[in-house]
Amino acid sequence: MEIVTVDHRTFILSLQQEQDGKEAMQQAYLKVLQVMEDVSSLTSEYSSKQGSFSSNGSVPQIKIEDLPILDKNALPSSPWKRLALSLSAFLSLSEWFASVLLWQQSLNPGASELLKLLEMSKIHCKAISSNLAAVLGQQDLSTPSLTTPNTLTTVIKQKIAGFMVCKCFTDWLSQTERDLLIVIAESPV
């Protein structure tokens, strides 16, 4: 009969890593919930300051390269892979918000609440990115270099792109919340 010994230090370290992972997931989840509450009025505040986008008042949809639009039909089945996509989206959206903020500072300099929400959204994207990187065990948080915001030179395109960035942000927040709930529920400890 063979006796199996357990290295207690390895076992304790393994338990500690699992606990740290669970805490990182919970922190990320709480951050996403907080951000969802903080930016709940983002799209409506943005729309209210833009004037009319079209004759019927709706926002025209245009294809904007580099904008991480959430396509639920194209998402992978694994919540971990979806969280990796969320991380990428929030890194990109941080850069997009920097552009939208500059545009709106020029177009609506007196819209202090909107400008505050845009600045806060940019900061929140970075914080969520850090939290998701911790959950996914990623070290490199290099922000993608976007060229598209620089090519949007007309006011109407900037207004539409800004709305789409705000909408995209709230869509990714909702998806990330759902995925974090799944991974938290499936994790041991």
Q: How many angstroms separate the CA atoms of 29 and 65, rounded?
A: 29
The set of residues, in sequence order, having a beta carbon less than 8 Å from that of 123 and lying 6+ positions away, is none
Query: Does residue 151 lie in a domain region?
Result: yes
Q: What is the pLDDT of residue 12?
A: 43
Picking from 54, 110, 91, the residue whose alpha carbon sits closest to that of residue 168 is 91
Longest Cα separation, the chain: 83
In a domain, residue 2? The reply is: no
How high is the pLDDT of residue 114? 97
Angle between helices 79-107 and 155-186 (to 10 degrees): 150
**Per-10-residue mean pLDDT, the chain, length 189:** 52 48 91 96 93 69 89 96 97 96 95 97 96 90 79 88 96 98 86
The number of distinct structural domains making up the chain is 1
CA distance 166 to 162: 6
| Torsion region of 83: left, alpha or beta (phi above 0 gives left; psi -120 to 50 gives alpha) | alpha
Return d(Cα 163, Cα 46) in angstroms, integer: 7
In a domain, 7, yes or no: no
Q: What is the pLDDT of residues 130-152, one digit of tens each?
A: 999 999 998 777 777 788 788 88
Task: Tell me whether residue 4 is in a domain.
Answer: no
Report if residue 148 sits inside a domain.
yes
Q: In which residue are the tokens 């194209």 written?
A: 74
Which domain CATH number covers 127? 1.20.1250.10
- The parent domain of residue 173 ranges over 12-51+62-186
Nearest to 120 by CA among 158, 180, 177, 166: 166
Residue 57: inside a domain = no
Average pLDDT, the chain: 87
